[in-house]
Amino acid sequence: MQNVSKMKLLPLYKRLIRVSIQDKARLFTSRQCSSFSDVRVRFAPSPTGHLHLGSLRTALYNYLFTRQHGGKFLLRVEDTDQSRVVPGSVEKCVEMLNWAGIHIDEGPFQGGNVGPYVQSERLALYQEHIKTLLQNGSAYCCFCSARRLELLRKDQARRRETSKYDNCCRGLSKQEVDEKIHKYQENRWPYVVRFKLTPFTDAWHDLVFGDITNNISEIEGDPVLMKSDGFPTYHFASIVDDHLMDISHVIRGVEWQVSTPKHLLLYKAFGWKAPSFAHLPVILNKDGTKLSKRQGDIHIEHLKDAGYYPESLLGLLTSMGSGFTTDSSTTSTLSMQQLIENFDLSLLKRNSTRLEKERIGEYNKVQLQKKIQEVQSREDLIKQLRSQLKHSGFAVSSMPDSYIQHILLWAQDRICKLSDLLSADLLFLWSLPQVQSVNSLPQIIKDKSLSRPTNSEDISRTLQVIQDLSEEELQEKETIARAFEELAKKHDWKYPMLMKTMRISLTGLMIGPPVSEIIQILGKEAALYRIRLMMKHLDTVQGHTAQNQTQALSSEHSTPVSVQISDGVSKKILQQGNGAIVQKGNRITVHCTGILKEQNSKFWSTKDPGQQPFTYKAGVGEVITGWDEGCLTMRQGEVSRITVAGYKGYGKQGFPAWNITPDATLIFEIEILNIR
């Protein structure tokens, strides 16, 4: 937007009468528009910050009204208070309106026949029209200094009177005005133009509140129309603009209702026909306070970025205050076209309404469920969720769409927005339990009096239960639960204690979804893998730590290690590693450290979402599928340090000659930067 300069050097009065021929031509062409009988409404925000829910409600109701009547929706930027203008706020406002489905017909970026649509670019028009009011005696120049006005306010406050201008300069003669203008021109003192308020006792009709009587001259002094910097006040500019833009209906917040008589007097002073007025009931916070632009949680951009859909915001707004032929409880399910068809301004309630922000989650849940159930929108959700996971540091390159779809279908009754799937209580869907969480398990199960699994050998019994379940049985939560009930009964364990132990092993959570659901969600292989990790962790806590094993080795058992890892797509090498191989019974542990690199030597890195060092973090279903020509094959995962349990196998050419028996279990402890 281009702002017109304030023309500081000329005194205001001369600026009012020195309108160029070009300005007059511009004024004439601005009146060439459709007839006044056409419905034309405007949304006129000030570019002072973010669009919030209250402003969106005003824009929405204007939009619904004009679309219902086949009219035009205008955007006008009211930036007369230049000190409060926030750069970029107009562009962001337009972006948010479009996102909400409110499309502008005429405006700063769309153009139109009655522009410019930015008030700071219409100064010549205001100067032309203030001259009209000065000439017909409806306005006058005021020379009162800021000091005098301040003393006046203090005196009125001391006497407990209503604070208002005392109309001191209204009675100045033409000669006195000319003399003061000459004096002020020499000293460059500022002065303003005020409007002569007259008694207004006639009732005027509000399309929402009915007939209103308000004699504003009793409670206000003569208002300023043109400020000393050459910019108009809101009251003057909005009246001139509404007339020149052929606005047929002014639909705005009820806070402007008290000023409407002032505006009607201005229309009368110009000899213009006034538009129809409708004032929307005020929206309050739940505690009864007024909405404020400083409340970040009601900014439309904030809600959009948080993952709420525009339909949810519109549902929240339309469920308050009525205004529709359908029941207010059903408006949240209506499309924009249905809202247009059912809108009725006369049905708006007059009393204020309170904003229940928590209900937006309920509305968003319904919208999210619709998108999950629809094939095309579900594919879009998979892409969005994959992007969010990647941004949060999870490995997604090898994560199949089928798994993400599986999670969406399972979670649709649990979440209100897509990002809820990355909340702390659902991180187990994408990564292994954190060590900090799993560490609580040994303390929980160490007391044998609790009648639950107390060591890795006990927990290993759950492995057999899961392994014995067929694919068909895994589809039935009741069947899975019954299998564990039988296990608990067989070993005299309390079933709830067994479930808590299993839940921590699988998710790291004390409280969460039923264990049978977790196994269904993760799948058999991933569930088995996580339980194996827990078994190893218990062994470590009970004294069989890898550190002790390593210390027992002689130096000849320490050897450089190079392990090639394949994710089925690209080959990645763990290079420059030094490690030790430990064999104890049939268990072989390979300790190695190094730098994981792609073949193109591009380094990968990862950060823990909590910005704290961590040991275990991997993707769902991360398992070793076996040896293949010396390659350790893995699926999914993005880790800083991981302990991986392998299957039985034999040493291959090119690797150290390990004495591996056919039934040996391979345990690899590999510290890497990333696996994708």
- Residues tagged active-site: 293
Query: What stretches of 229-363 adopt beta strand conformation (E)?
Result: 249-253, 276-280, 283-284, 322-324, 343-348, 353-354
Rounded (to 5) percent helix, strand, coil in the chain: 45, 15, 40
Are residues 418 and 383 in contact, defined by beta-carbon separation less than 8 angstroms?
no
Closest listed residue to residue 420, CA positions, set 434, 408, 432: 408
Residue 92 to residues 86, 99, 168, 292: CA-CA distances in angstroms? Answer: 11, 10, 43, 18
Closest listed residue to residue 172, CA positions, set 152, 196, 142: 142
Give the length of the chain.
676
Query: Strand, coil or helix: what is 281?
Result: coil
Query: What stretches of 617-664 adopt beta strand conformation (E)?
Result: 624-628, 631-634, 641-645
CA atoms of 635 and 323, how far apart (whole Å):
55
Mention every residue, 6+ apart, whose C-beta is less than 8 A from residue 536: 456, 643, 645, 667
Query: Strand, coil or helix: what is 139?
Result: strand
CA atoms of 140 and 130, how far apart (whole Å):
10
Are residues 89 and 95 in contact, defined by beta-carbon separation less than 8 angstroms?
no
CA atoms of 66 and 275, how far apart (whole Å):
14
- Identify the DSSP state of 48: S
Query: Strand, coil or helix: what is 454?
Result: coil
- Identify the DSSP state of 214: -
CA atoms of 75 and 70, how far apart (whole Å):
17
- Identify the DSSP state of 491: T
Q: How far is CA 508 from the centre of its chain?
A: 29
Residue 108 to residues 34, 77, 121: CA-CA distances in angstroms? Answer: 19, 8, 10
User: Any long-range contacts for 179-185 (C-beta under 8 Å, 24+ apart)?
Assistant: 180/141, 180/143, 181/11, 181/13, 181/141, 184/11, 184/143, 185/11, 185/14
What the block records as the tokens of 434 is: 């954190």
* Single-letter residue type at 233: T
Residue 293 CB-half CA count within 13 A: 11
Pairing of strands 665-671, 587-598: parallel
CA atoms of 176 and 165, how far apart (whole Å):
20
- Identify the DSSP state of 52: B
Mention every residue, 6+ apart, whose C-beta is less than 8 A from residue 125: 23, 26, 27, 30, 240, 244
Residue 85 CB-half CA count within 13 A: 17
Query: Strand, coil or helix: what is 90?
Result: helix
* Single-letter residue type at 106: E
What the block records as the tokens of 91 is: 């562009």
DSSP H helices in 69-193 = 89-99, 123-135, 146-158, 174-187
* Residue whose token pair is 């769409």: 401
Helices (H) and strands (E) in the chain, counts: 24, 20
What the block records as the tokens of 109 is: 């970026």
